[in-house]
Amino acid sequence: MAKLKTLYLCQNCGAQSAKWIGRCPSCGEWNTYVEEVIQKDDTQAAGSWKPPTTGPGTKAVSKPRVIGEIHFEEESRFDTNDGELNRVLGGGLVPGSLVLIGGEPGIGKSTLMLQIAMSLKQMKVLYISGEESEQQIKMRAERLGPQHPQCYILTETNTQNIFRQIDQLQPNVVIVDSIQTLHSGLVESGAGSVSQVRECTAELLKYAKETGVPVLLIGHITKDGSIAGPKILEHMVDTVLQFEGDRHLSYRILRTTKNRFGSTSELGIYEMQGTGLRQVSNPSEILLSQRTESLSGMAIGATLEGNRPLLVEVQALVTPATYGTPQRSATGFDAKRLNMLLAVLEKRSGLRLGQHDVFLNIAGGLRLDDPALDVAVCAAVVSSLNDLPIPGDVCLAAEVGLSGEIRAVSRLDQRLSEAEKLGFKEMYISQFNARGLDLARYGIRAQPVGRLDEVLSGLFG
């Protein structure tokens, strides 16, 4: 047995210190240093994962090779029977990959993973839970639908016992809920500590790479929204997914922040229902379904979330300021950018907004930062100020500059196609976008404009 070494580790970022300090010099958080015992022992505990020493699974010693001599083959992927998850992963689940899913408490991470486990009908799935009992998982599975005959539930937190069961069961997919609840006998600190999270992830990573079995991990997040535990956790895994949304709203968004096997610009959209998470294949139609008539202060903007075009409703309310200082409030939109656009309207369009309260909302609970919504925000503000509705078959997609010019946006063809599919007749775009695009092939009339005043005069006369 090697000599035990005591270190103080920051539970927020994983920084090390020889003594306790009040504030972490790395991340700036207070009172996050905890004393942990680091055990340097080369011998493996009984039951931990051991790669084969002989046979077909044995890895040969690596040698340097010229890059031109390396043969590349496209990775085969598992179909998860979930179109949104397949899109986010880049086409499916890669064998031997380690996927980390993070999100706020109660957002639906466990429901999503159990739903995936129940949908893999042709595979043997092991669902490992350290947070819920078998009865709790069974209750949730009853709500999700038909039972999977080869979905096994294991309520265990010790990694040595987990690997013994894995060795006997030989599953095709492993799901762990959650990585912060596991603990390994190789480290003498408590579950959820920096050392335990790092060691347990390393053991699961070694198992996934040696056997080719994909492993999905659920991870907790901190109060600022990042994955809890050391930052090295996100570097160790192959894919990091963020499950986002408001618990008081039904829509959930699955984003990719890291993906070694695909793009990080994709996202999946779900709707939380009593029977589980429903895939939303056409989110624009749902976001615009509550529009029954044209009202003032409403404009439709064409935005992009990842590679997916969305048409969202921008709502604005402009009222005379009751108190001395006018209020500026934005929900789902950058408040600083709203102030900038209001200044452009005052300076370039001559509108008097200094004595008005301005409230802005992106309908549906989405949070967007696409500059293409600038002209829709300006149109909604002017519509509410003058109490003039915008025609219901008109949408907008352009960025507004500080001098009042209308600037081009990316991937306008996808925005035009989405608007045409939903029945819109006209879209205001930048004149610079119209130069290299064949607008005649779209069934929607594009209005190229160069100044913000041209947009306002075209909408309100």
Cα dihedral 41→47→49→52 (10° resolution): 100
Helix (H) or strand (E) holding 255: strand 251-259
107 is in an annotated binding site: yes
CA angle 433-435-438, nearest 5°?
95
CA distance 41 to 27: 30
109 is in an annotated binding site: yes
* Backbone angles phi and psi of 63, in degrees to 5: -130, 150
SS3 assignment, position 442 = coil
Residue with tokens 């905890």: 34
The DSSP output letter for 3 is P
106 is in an annotated binding site: yes
362 is in an annotated binding site: no
Q: Residue 236 has which token pair?
A: 């160790």
105 is in an annotated binding site: yes
104 is in an annotated binding site: yes
CA distance 391 to 395: 9
70 is in an annotated binding site: no
Name which of 303, 309, 331 is nearest 399 in CA terms.
303
Concatenating the DSSP letter of every residue in 189-212 gives SPTTSHHHHHHHHHHHHHHHHHH-
110 is in an annotated binding site: yes
CA angle 60-66-67, nearest 5°?
100
Q: Residue 109 has which token pair?
A: 């991470």
Provide the CA 59 distance to its chain's centre, in angstroms: 35
Name which of 406, 398, 456 is nearest 427 in CA terms.
398
Annotation: binding site: 103-110
Annotation: binding site for ATP: 103-110
